[in-house]
Structure 1
Amino acid sequence: MSTEKRYSLMTKHELEQEIANVKEKARKAEQLGYVNEFAVLERKAIMASCYLLNPKDYKPGTVYAISNDPGSYFKIDYLNGVFAWGYRLKGEKKLEALPIAMLDNRSEGGKQQ
């Protein structure tokens, strides 16, 4: 029985390989019309991508665009590991967590508020 290694214990190279493998599986699932499998694999790739980022680059009180969701923004209240906890702007103001890989951290992405 194969045991999977935790993303937090993988090297940068291992994470990059894992992301490539998962994205390839997701592409095949999408082509075959396996919508649920595609969604799970996409989320898995996002989670692996989080461990290539530095959570210290994401600041509480800052608003970030949400990747792959044009016009949606997220304001971070606090971070816990690779998850940013906060609120979507123009949303229900319900506390939620997003993986930091879903937040656009480019210079024009984050705005202090």
Structure 2
Amino acid sequence: MTTEKKYSAMTEHELRGEIANLREKARKAEQLGILNEFAVYQRKMLMAEAYLVDPATIEIGEIYRIEGDEGMFFQVDYLKGRFAWGHRLGGNLAKEALPISMLKPVKTGK
């Protein structure tokens, strides 16, 4: 039996290895047509990637593009752990949390 290590306890090298492993599992699940398993691996990859992003690079009040959701923008109200809480622009302004790995700067040069 293997004990799973928390992403917060992993080194950058271990995180990158875990992401590669999850990417391979997701690819296999997609090929086999197991879409719910594919979605689970995609979410796990996003969370592992969030631990590679420095939360200090996410600015409160700033607007970011949402990776994987073209044309959608997200305004950050506050950070809690590896999640940015805020709302999508142009939507119903419902508060939601996104892993910080999904946020990409709107401004170029950052």
Q: Where does the alignment leave 5 or more consecutive residues of structure 2 unmatched? A: none
Matched residues in 1 for 2:39 and 2:23: separation? Answer: 11
Q: CA deviation at 1:81?
A: 1.1
Q: CA deviation at 1:60?
A: 0.7
Residues 63, 105 of structure 2: 8 Å contact kept: no
Matched residue count: 110
Deviations 1:24-70 (A, max 9, x none): 00000000000000000000001000101100000110000000111
Runs of 4 or more, structure 1, over 6 Å off, are: none
TM-score using structure 1 length:
0.93
Question: What corresponds to 2:54 in structure 1?
Answer: 54
Give the fraction of aligned pairs with identical amino acids, expressed as a percent.
Answer: 56
Question: What corresponds to 1:24 in structure 2?
Answer: 24
Question: What corresponds to 2:44 in structure 1?
Answer: 44
Q: What is the DSSP-based 3-state SS (H/G/I as helix, E as strand, rest coil) of the residue aligned with 2:46?
A: helix
Residues 65, 109 of structure 1: 8 Å contact kept: no
Q: CA deviation at 1:106?
A: 6.5
What amino acid maps onto 2:42 in structure 1? E
Give me the CA root mean square deviation. Answer: 1.5
Seen in structure 2, the aligned counterparts of structure 1 residues 63 and 100 have a Cα distance that, compared at 3 Å, is same
Q: Where does the alignment leave 5 or more consecutive residues of structure 1 unmatched? A: none
Question: What corresponds to 2:12 in structure 1?
Answer: 12
What amino acid maps onto 1:95 in structure 2? K
Matched, 1:87 2:87: yes
Q: CA deviation at 1:108?
A: 2.8
Matched residues in 1 for 2:81 and 2:109: separation? Answer: 21
